[in-house]
Amino acid sequence: MTAAYGPTGAALPRSVNFLAANPVTTVLGLAVGAVGAAVVGAQAAHGDLPQLPSAATVTADLHLAAGASPASGATSVRSAMTPVSAEPTSAAATVPELTKAAGRQHQQQKVESAVDRFESKIGSTQYENWCERAVENAFGTQGHYASAIEDWESQDQHSDWQHAPRGAMVFYDTSSDGHVALSLGDGRVVSSSAHHQVGVVPVGFFQHPLGWAYAPY
C-alpha cells in the first residue's frame, strides 16, 4: 500500500492511510468519532474522563464494523453487500407433490376400508344375487346402479381383468344383469355368490370376465 502524506510532507500513520483508502471505514469512523466526542464532553463536564482506547484498537474495531480487513480492503466490503438470491424455497416447490401424495393416501385408505368391510361379510349369504349392492355397500354406499352390467357400462373400462388392482371392481358377463366382485390385487376377488356366500375366490372363478374399473364412490 502506498503511504499517504500530510501538509508538511510527513508520512501519515498506516491506520490513517488505510482509512483514506476505505470510504466505508472512513464514514463509520467519523460517525463513531462524533458519538465519542459527545460522550467524552459530557463526562469531562463532570470531571470524569474515561481512559481512551489506543489508535490500533479503534482501527481494528472499524475493520470489523465495515466487514473488511486491511488485507481485503474494499473487495470484502462489496462481498459483504452481495444481495441475497430471491429463488423460491424448496418447501414451496414441493407443495403440489405433497398435495398429490395426500390424495393418493386418501384413496388408498378408502380402498382398504372397502376391502375390510367386504371381507368382514365372508360366510354371509345376505348378498346372494345382490352382487352390485354388496360392492356398493363395501364402499359405504348403495343405490347407484340397478345391476352390475349398468355399473360396467358407466365406467372407464380396462380389459386386462387378470391384473385388476387392489380395490378395483371386476365385472363378468354371467347373465343379463352381470356380476361384479372386488379385486384384492393378487389374482383373487372377494365376492358374493362365491359358493353361495361371500367369499374369496380366484379372479377367473366366474364366467366371461369383461374387465375392471375403478370404483367411482
Residue pLDDT, tens place only, 123-140: 999 999 999 999 999 999
What is the structure's pLDDT at 101? 82
109 and 209 inside one domain: yes
Q: CB-based contacts of 54: which residues, under 8 Å, 6+ apart?
A: none
Q: Which residue in 198, 201, 197 sits closest to 189, CA to CA?
A: 201
194 and 112 inside one domain: yes
Please calculate the CA angle 45-48-54 and round it to the nearest 5 degrees: 110
What is the structure's pLDDT at 177? 97
Neighbouring CB atoms inside 10 A of 71's CB total 8
Task: Please give the Cα distance from 18 to 42 (Å, whole number).
Answer: 30
Evaluate whether residue 57 is within a structural domain: yes
Structural domains of the chain, count: 2
Exposed/middle/buried for 36, CB within 10 Å: 0-12, 13-18, 19+?
A: middle
125 and 206 inside one domain: yes
- The type of residue at 40 is V
Evaluate whether residue 173 is within a structural domain: yes
Under a CB-based contact definition with an 8 Å cutoff, are residues 143 and 136 in contact? yes
What is the structure's pLDDT at 70? 47
Under a CB-based contact definition with an 8 Å cutoff, are residues 16 and 4 in contact? yes
Evaluate whether residue 116 is within a structural domain: yes
Task: Please give the Cα distance from 52 to 29 (Å, whole number).
Answer: 15
Neighbouring CB atoms inside 10 A of 208's CB total 11
116 and 179 inside one domain: yes
Domain, as residue range, for 203? 104-213
75 and 117 inside one domain: no
Evaluate whether residue 159 is within a structural domain: yes
Rounded to two decimals, the pTM is 0.56
List the chain residues with pLDDT less than 70: 1-93
What is the structure's pLDDT at 25? 47
- Cα torsion 180, 182, 185, 187 to 10°: value is -50
119 and 207 inside one domain: yes
Under a CB-based contact definition with an 8 Å cutoff, are residues 131 and 148 in contact? yes
- Final residue before a domain boundary, out of 80, 113, 135: 80
SS3 165: coil
- Cα torsion 92, 93, 98, 99 to 10°: value is 90
What is the structure's pLDDT at 77? 42
Cell match 367386504: residue? Answer: 118
SS3 169: strand
111 and 207 inside one domain: yes
119 and 185 inside one domain: yes
Evaluate whether residue 97 is within a structural domain: no
Q: CB-based contacts of 62: which residues, under 8 Å, 6+ apart?
A: 19, 25, 28, 29, 32
- Final residue before a domain boundary, out of 80, 115, 134: 80
